[in-house]
Amino acid sequence: MKNRQPRIVIIGGGTGLPVLLRGLKQYPVDITAIVTVADDGGSSGRLRNDLHIPPPGDIRNVLAALSDVEPLIEEMFQHRFKTSTELSGHSLGNLILAAMTSITGNFVHAIQEMSKVLNVRGKVLPAANQSVVLHAEMEDGTVVSGESKIPYSGKKIKKVFLTPKHIKPLPETISAIRKADLIIIGPGSLYTSILPNLLVPKLGHEVCRAKAKTVYICNLMTQAGETFNYTASDHVKAIYDHMSCAFMNTILVNSEDIPDDIQERYSEEMSKPVIFDTERLQDLGLEVIPGEIASEKDGVIRHDTKVVAEMLYSLLIDEMKKRNNN
């Protein structure tokens, strides 16, 4: 069907994914967000352990980003309790998703019902319909278990892996990847937000064999405990080292300087701007698209949702034109 909306699949988690989605939902595209379920910290971790459900936090943030409701409703959904009781630290959205999972008996059904309530533009799918545990093998051979613990090990990561061994992706996830016109990886923490999705058996395999162009949105800053001193090509190679293929076609990189005062603030966290080593990226077979894609708010650097969304939509339209001409 030539009149259908172009289909975009976005794979990630953490804080980067919702930022991107807020921009993309303004365009006439069919969005499917595939979100990690490896989180084990904070409110998500407590609900995961207490109720034996997949962690709802990253899903909640994506639902909020794609929602089309009054700002007050979204604010209520994202509200985090600050009390001295057991509610302290929980966000209302996490509790609602936990309640809906209990009512429907299924985490995916809970997400679908909440998507209706929040008038979500697109589909939100967990990478798996179960909790998974992320482990990191360090270069010294030690293993750290738990997504929230990995960045604080003080050691260099050699590889990450998931348990249990038999994790099944959702059929809807596989279908979305196969039908996609554009697949977007990131932005997000390399080892704790991006790779936990791609390491789900069959899901990563489908991304490898997908016909759609795959775009990687590289992080703007390095991350202590995960990507200390990593260049852009180091990010790509780390993903490829975990996969059975070199599957990315294009990378979006930031071409503007990060202000010195912001860099100083980040240096206190052992973080600095990612160096975009264009030649090495091209040697890896990637088309490199530079742009002024960084924005700063309250001393925090994030991808500029409007600029990145516009770049991705242009890429998508170019792809659709090529496909229609062939």
Among the listed ranges 83-97, 170-184, 203-217, 268-282, which one has the minimum average pLDDT value?
Answer: 83-97
Instruction: Give the pLDDT mean for 178-186.
Output: 96
3-state secondary structure the chain: CCCCCCEEEEEECCCHHHHHHHHHCCCCCEEEEEECCCCCCHHHHHHHHHHCCCCCHHHHHHHHHHCCCCHHHHHHHHCECCCCCCCCCCEHHHHHHHHHHHHHCCHHHHHHHHHHHCCCCCEEEECCCCCCEEEEEECCCCEEECCCCHHHCCCCEEEEEEECCCCCCCHHHHHHHHHCCEEEECCCCHHHHHHHHHCCCCHHHHHHHCCCEEEEECCCECCCCCCCCCEHHHHHHHHHHHCCCCCCCEEEEECCCCCHHHHHHHHCCCCCECECCHHHHHHCCCEEEEECCEEEECCEEEECHHHHHHHHHHHHHHHHHHHHHC
Q: Which residues pair with 123 in a beta bridge?
A: 32
Instruction: Give the pLDDT mean for 246-257.
Output: 95
Strands 30-35 and 7-12: parallel
Strands 182-185 and 213-217: parallel
Instruction: Give the pLDDT mean for 34-49.
Output: 91
**What is the per-residue pLDDT for 160?**
98
pLDDT in tens, 143-176: 999 999 999 988 999 999 999 988 999 999 999 9
Instruction: Give the pLDDT mean for 299-310.
Output: 94
pLDDT in tens, 111-153: 999 999 999 999 999 999 898 999 999 999 999 999 999 999 8
Choose between 88 and 124: higher pLDDT. 124
What is d(CA 266, CA 296) in angstroms, rounded to the nearest whole number? Answer: 12
For residue 248, the one-letter residue type is M
**What is the per-residue pLDDT for 176?**
98
Confidence of residue 3 (pLDDT cuts 50, 70, 90): confident
Domains and CATH numbers, the chain: 7-38+167-325 (3.40.50.10680), 40-125 (no CATH)
What is d(CA 281, CA 301) in angstroms, rounded to the nearest whole number? Answer: 23
Confidence of residue 1 (pLDDT cuts 50, 70, 90): very low
Choose between 251 and 15: higher pLDDT. 251
**What is the per-residue pLDDT for 304?**
95
**What is the per-residue pLDDT for 2?**
59
Contact 176, 140 (CB under 8 A): no
* Residues 6+ away with beta carbon under 8 Å from 282: 288
Closest Cα to residue 173, out of 125, 131, 213, 209? 125
pLDDT in tens, 203-212: 999 999 999 9
Among the listed ranges 178-182, 195-199, 257-261, 278-282, which one has the minimum average pLDDT value?
Answer: 257-261
**What is the per-residue pLDDT for 131?**
87
**What is the per-residue pLDDT for 13?**
87
What is d(CA 233, CA 275) in angstroms, rounded to the nearest whole number? Answer: 9
Confidence of residue 248 (pLDDT cuts 50, 70, 90): very high
**Structure-token pair, residue 217:** 């949105």
What is d(CA 266, CA 285) in angstroms, rounded to the nearest whole number? Answer: 31
What is d(CA 237, CA 256) in angstroms, rounded to the nearest whole number? Answer: 23
Mean pLDDT, rounded, of the chain = 93
Give the pTM: 0.94
